[in-house]
């Protein structure tokens, strides 16, 4: 088991009509791996993180991910 924390900042590009909001998001990511799989106390990434368990045979991935958030949000009034 391990823990991860994310903190993001969302920014708006303005309204594209009466009920549509354009946005983008920038995320930072921290992973706290257990001592039995990694020597690192904390691993950090921006938008994603690819981490392997260097203490386990074959050094398997235990955290692999990449995230980008952009899009349109619809508000129904």
Q: What domain range is 55 assigned to? A: 3-72
Q: pLDDT at residue 12 above 80?
A: no
Overall domain count for the chain: 1
Q: What is the pTM of this model?
A: 0.57
Q: Tokens 């969302």 — which residue? A: 10
Retrieve residue 76's tokens. Answer: 């129904």
Residue 53 burial (CB count, 10 A): 18
More confident residue, 37 or 21: 37
Does a structural domain hold residue 10?
yes
More confident residue, 56 or 18: 56
Backbone φ and ψ for 35, nearest 5 degrees, come out as -60, -25
Does a structural domain hold residue 77?
no
């Amino acid at each position: 088991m391990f823990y991860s924390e994310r903190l993001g900042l969302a920014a708006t590009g303005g309204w594209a009509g009466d009920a549509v909001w354009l946005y983008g998001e920038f995320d930072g990511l921290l992973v706290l791996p257990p001592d039995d799989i990694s020597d690192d106390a904390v691993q950090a990434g921006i938008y994603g993180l690819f981490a392997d368990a260097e203490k386990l045979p074959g050094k398997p991935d235990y955290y692999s991910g990449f995230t980008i958030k952009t899009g349109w949000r619809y508000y129904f009034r």
